[in-house]
């Protein structure tokens, strides 16, 4: 009984949120919404199935029942023993804290066996002049950074970057970062909720207390090596058919991120190796599969089980596709066949 799984978002009302996700088609609760956890098996916010025979079941319980038919043989035969990804929609009506995430080793050693957090952002909307913090100014070392914090001049150490709708930003563990005000984005990340706050603008929480900082751990994990990594993932385009094309934006060992533009239909296939996640940003679609069909609207996320087989998405829509790639067969091979060099692939896609 494999079919496209719809999931109910889990909403987070952090102080920097707003109401902008409703413009994407997301039905929000009252008050501020900072994040909608669209696809999650994390205990801090479990996704619940909202369609078909498994309605009301958590994604965790569904996967425990379906096993490799849900997750795929690639995952079952790999080092991962838990659901690896977490998909969020984020409304930064106000700026987020300045923060950093650990890698897998540090998280495992210091956070009770948790995963680290490599993430990427797809900018859905950005007000004119909107900026993110993307690591440190070139030449800032650990001593410089500590001095800037002690003197309350941390801004002088941070690298600011303007962003625009359609940008893709790769955020590595160890990279200082923050989302500025006026930005709505989709975030694909490892299945982790570990964040070390470095600075939070002296803000207070709902109880009137300053939000906690994690300076010691942050200093342990910040990468002070000069930042030579690309700032925006340019991606490479692939034509699917006369009415559909996609851009392979980013790929690493944790996840791949692709953007689809469809006016007509696109046929996809899961061969038992891996699951797919789709987040529909604009328009609507019908998904035909072997046992039926479902309708999907903007603002909805779909989990496609690994053994579902062939399916066809029909409509006029824009969507993000996310999955755990085999870098050679899923990324390098099709892009090479399309005429791209390895140098182009590594410079524009590889994360």
Q: Which of 197, 203, 239, 273 is catalytic?
A: 197
Candidates 3.90.1640.30, 3.30.390.30, 3.40.50.720, 2.60.120.10; correct CATH number of 5-221?
2.60.120.10
- Where exactly does CATH 2.60.120.10 map onto the chain? 5-221, 236-348
Q: Could you give the C-alpha distances from 292 to 2, 28, 51, in angstroms and in order?
A: 10, 29, 13
Q: For 88-128, how does the pLDDT look when each residue is reduced to its tens digit (9 = 90+)?
A: 999 999 999 999 999 999 999 999 999 999 999 999 999 99
Topology given in CATH for the domain delimited by 236-348: Jelly Rolls (2.60.120)
Burial class (CB in 10 A: 0-12, 13-18, 19+), 198: buried
Q: pLDDT value at position 80? A: 53
Is 19 noted as a catalytic residue in this protein?
A: no
The residue count of the chain comes to: 351
- For 275-304, write each residue's pLDDT tens digit: 999 999 999 999 999 989 999 999 999 999
H-helix segments, the chain = 59-66, 68-71, 73-76, 104-110, 142-150, 215-221, 333-337, 342-348
pLDDT digits (tens, 9 = 90+) for 229-282: 667 999 999 999 999 999 999 999 999 999 999 999 999 999 999 999 999 999
């Amino acid at each position: 009984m494999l079919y496209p799984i719809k999931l109910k978002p889990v909403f987070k009302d952090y102080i920097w949120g707003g109401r902008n996700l409703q413009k994407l088609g997301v039905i929000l609760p009252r008050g501020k919404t900072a994040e909608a956890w669209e696809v999650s098996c994390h205990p801090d916010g479990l996704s619940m199935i909202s369609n078909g025979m498994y309605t009301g079941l958590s994604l965790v319980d569904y996967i425990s029942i379906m096993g490799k038919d849900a997750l795929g043989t690639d995952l079952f035969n790999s080092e991962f023993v838990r659901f690896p990804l977490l998909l969020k929609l984020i409304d930064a009506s106000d700026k987020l804290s300045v923060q950093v995430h650990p890698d897998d080793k540090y998280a495992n050693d210091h956070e009770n066996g948790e995963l680290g957090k490599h993430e990427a952002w797809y900018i859905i909307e950005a007000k004119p002049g909107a900026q993110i913090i993307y690591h440190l100014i070139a030449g800032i070392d650990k001593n410089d950074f500590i001095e800037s914090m002690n003197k309350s001049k941390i801004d002088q150490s941070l690298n600011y970057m303007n962003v625009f709708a359609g940008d893709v930003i790769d955020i590595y563990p160890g990279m200082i970062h923050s989302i500025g005000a006026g930005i709505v984005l989709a975030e694909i990340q490892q299945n982790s909720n570990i964040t070390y706050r470095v600075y939070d603008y002296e803000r207070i929480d709902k109880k009137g207390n300053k939000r906690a900082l994690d300076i010691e751990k942050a200093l342990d994990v910040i990468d002070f090596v000069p930042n030579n990594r690309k700032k925006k993932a340019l991606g490479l385009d692939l034509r699917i058919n006369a009415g559909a094309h996609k851009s392979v934006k980013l790929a690493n060992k944790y996840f791949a991120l692709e953007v689809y533009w469809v006016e007509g239909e696109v046929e996809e296939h899961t061969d038992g190796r891996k699951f797919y996640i789709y987040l529909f940003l604009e328009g609507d679609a019908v998904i035909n599969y072997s046992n039926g069909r479902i309708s999907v609207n903007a603002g909805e996320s779909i989990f496609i089980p690994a053994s579902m087989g062939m399916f066809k998405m029909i409509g006029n829509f824009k969507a993000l596709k996310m999955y755990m790639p085999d870098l050679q067969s899923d990324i390098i091979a099709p892009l090479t066949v399309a005429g791209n060099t390895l140098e182009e692939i590594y410079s524009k896609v590889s994360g």
